[in-house]
Amino acid sequence: MAIYRMSGYTTAITRDVVEEPKINTPEKGEPLLLKALADIEDYSKYLVLAHQELLSKISNKLNSAGDIASLALQQNTKIASEFASIAKQEGDQLDKIATAVEEVVNKLSSVDDLYTNVCKLSDLLSSLEQIAKTKTEGIPTIMY
């Protein structure tokens, strides 16, 4: 850590690999304007160093964020692929279930048709029995 004097304040700036600037110091009897200009020059050097340090840190953070985003994209792609595969399997299973339900409905319809035909046949047999009874009422029965 280096400690710098800027505009009358002492400031601590942490740096990784930045060279310390050469500080301009006023000579005895030097006019105040030249001292102020030297201070401004020193201050601008510190601003450049701080700017470089900030850019370095921002660059590192952006690289880290890019790596994290890339990893997240890979994981999301993998999850989406797995989800699509599972959804396809579920769709296939639902198709099989729908086919089976349709077959059951067709079988039940066939059973219903068969029952309707049996009822019609039963009614027909009852009618035939009634006709046979009325036709045979006056005819003597032969017994063997």
User: In the chain, where does DSSP find H-type helix?
Assistant: 32-135
The reported pLDDT for the residue numbered 25 is 60
The reported pLDDT for the residue numbered 114 is 95
Structure tokens at 30: 């030097």
The reported pLDDT for the residue numbered 76 is 97
The reported pLDDT for the residue numbered 1 is 41
The reported pLDDT for the residue numbered 10 is 45
The reported pLDDT for the residue numbered 133 is 83
Q: Please indicate, yes or no, whether the overall pTM of this predicted structure exceeds 0.85.
A: no
- Write the pLDDT tens digit of every residue in 14-32: 544 455 556 556 566 667 8
The reported pLDDT for the residue numbered 56 is 94
Whole-number Cα distances in Å, 38 to 28, 42, 44: 14, 6, 10
Per-residue pLDDT tens listing for the chain (144 residues): 444 444 444 444 554 445 555 655 656 666 788 888 888 999 999 999 999 999 999 999 999 999 999 999 999 999 999 999 999 999 999 999 999 999 999 999 999 999 999 999 999 999 998 888 887 776 666 666
The reported pLDDT for the residue numbered 93 is 96
Q: Which residues of 50-85 are buried (b: 16+ CB within 10 A; e: fewer)?
A: beebeeeeeeeeeeeeeeeeeeeeeeeeeeeeeeee
Phi, psi of 3 (to 5 degrees): -110, 130
The reported pLDDT for the residue numbered 132 is 84
